[in-house]
Amino acid sequence: MKIIISDGMSKEGIEILQQAGLEITNKKFTPEELINEIADYDAILVRSATKVTKEVIDAGKKLKVIARGGVGLDNIDVNYAKEKGILVLNTPGASSISVAEMALSHIFALARFTYKSTAEMQTGKWPKKEYSNGFELTGKTLGIMGLGNIGKELAKRALGLSMKVIAYDPFVNQCDLDVKFVSKEDLLANSDIISLHIPKIKGEGYAIGKNEFQMMKNGVVLINCARGGVVSEADLLEALNNGKVAFAGIDVFENEPPTEAQKDLMNHPNVSLSPHIGGSTPEAQTRIGIEIAQKIVDALKK
């Protein structure tokens, strides 16, 4: 059996596929190349870059498995794949620790201005007075939207920092942590810091837009390590400019890489940025590779 690995994979995962006797093509295809090449393959493994569209699925005459090394499935036409009898796999928990720690890294950077002071000190400045008015996390209320695997990992760490943690998740209403479940409206109104860990649902609008920003505390901190398109970037920029949002930490964007139209948000002085690398640690990639490889092998053996 043959598999395309389009967006890379850890060596541990590749070894599992090789030991199972799979013929591997480990190459980044353009959309056109993928449609032309996929007909002879039984499986395809992607991350977030490659789009497995209806056209790709139709071209994959022998496809049995579409696998995503990671959490979200928004780059795969899941419903159409299921209609065609193709199994769709992912690894929802493998990168949870890395993404949770990325969210926390943005929170720390914003709380103590390290993202600003580093850049200024590297030019020879000594901005001691300018950045002596940061804030402690102890006692602050962290609102987590989406208490899945990533949200729970973030909650554990926030509780360890003596933060108060509240959560909203329409599909979860209990967990074994000291987390208070609240409505979406209560979370928006009562959080000092809001961290998003929710999916981008195709066909639905922004989860956070103008109405949601109006419900938030003045001076709130917003963290998005979930998906681009969960937050309206235009409304976020307006909220930053009028002071409703004091700071934002962003790992994911509506367009990736961001375009010229997003430069005002990207250059905002109260925004900490990272280039969609929340789950991109060696530890997470090893876990993802091993888990998804084992799932692929098991699925193809059936």
Residues catalogued as catalytic: 227, 256, 276
**Which among 12, 95, 56, 51 has a CA at the least distance from the CA of 202?**
51
Written as six digits, the tokens of 133 are 């008015």
Cα separation, 294 vs 288, whole angstroms: 10
**Which among 94, 107, 225, 76 has a CA at the least distance from the CA of 149?**
94
**Which among 64, 26, 63, 62 has a CA at the least distance from the CA of 46?**
26
Burial zone of 138 (CB within 10 Å; 0-12 exposed, 13-18 middle, 19+ buried): exposed
**Which among 106, 51, 77, 107 has a CA at the least distance from the CA of 277?**
106
Q: Do 144 and 155 touch, CB atoms closer than 8 A?
A: yes
